[in-house]
Amino acid sequence: MDSFPSEFADLLNKRGQRLIADPPRLDVFRTKRATPIVVFDDLIDDRVARRCIELLDRAMYPVIRRMETPIPREWIASMKKNYSDSLRKTVRVKTATLNSRKSQALDAARGIGLAQMMRSESFHEFAEAVVGKPVERGTGGRQVICYEQGDYSGPHNDHHPESPGSRNGFVDLHIMFSNDAVRSQQLVYEERGFLSASHDVNGRSGIAVYRLPFWHYTTPLVGRAGREAEARRWLLLGSFDFDPPPEKPMW
């Protein structure tokens, strides 16, 4: 494999391909009581995932850029009342979006077939099979993110009230790969008003499908002792609006 397959389905093992052919009708996307997210740990074979990591290390690592929003000291210094603390989204990762036509990152992603795979019919079909509703073709956002030692995304909800296509709900599809030097990282998300649900995302590969918005964050990535500098978790992120967009909030 010298590049990503042109169809996302060809990255998946038999279980993953079966999921597209025979959608699972998952309860979490059908009831308002549950948080609409599912994380699959076993849909990409280890050998394939290792090859994806090699491709991303070679082609994408040189073009991703640090994105950091630290916590400003003033958020404490400017507080006037006890217990009035509030935290906006804070983050530290490396990333590149594939949305601008002339970006170096998009060229790099095209060179290894990644951009094409993230526009493929089966990439959309996978999202639809999981959430149980049609999504828009060709217009979704694409982003590559890399978490290294200590990198994280703080609590946020991904609500876009100003965007007509996504303000009442949209879908994120995350394809994740961790190398051998990663010891731990967790995705934490709200469940009935508490940030009490979590899922390990440090496996060799994982696929998460979210129907946003809801509150979530990732804990800082922790590398194995002595191998912290090598630890990387890659995240390929596709975002899709529903087709048609829902008229009322889906949550």
Size of the site for Fe ion (CB under 5 A): 1
Tell me the C-alpha distance between 138 and 124, whole Å.
9
**Stretch in the footprint of Fe ion (CB under 5 A) among 7-15, 150-158, 198-206, 237-245:** 150-158
Contact residue for Fe ion among 45, 54, 107, 158 (CB under 5 A): 158
**Stretch in the footprint of Fe ion (CB under 5 A) among 56-64, 96-104, 154-162, 232-240:** 154-162
Question: Given the structure tokens 């990282």, which residue do they identify?
Answer: 185
Task: Return the SS3 of 95.
Answer: strand
- Rounded to 5°, the CA angle 17-20-21 comes to 85
Contact 55, 114 (CB under 8 A): yes
Which residue's CB is nearer to Fe ion, number 92 or number 227? 92
By CB under 5 A, tell whether 190 contacts Fe ion.
Answer: no
Which residue's CB is nearer to Fe ion, number 4 or number 215? 215
Helices (H) and strands (E) in the chain, counts: 6, 13
**Stretch in the footprint of Fe ion (CB under 5 A) among 69-77, 117-125, 151-159, 185-193:** 151-159
The dihedrals phi and psi of 37, each to the nearest 5 degrees, come to -145, 145
Which residue's CB is nearer to Fe ion, number 50 or number 160? 160
Binding site for Fe ion (CB under 5 A): 158
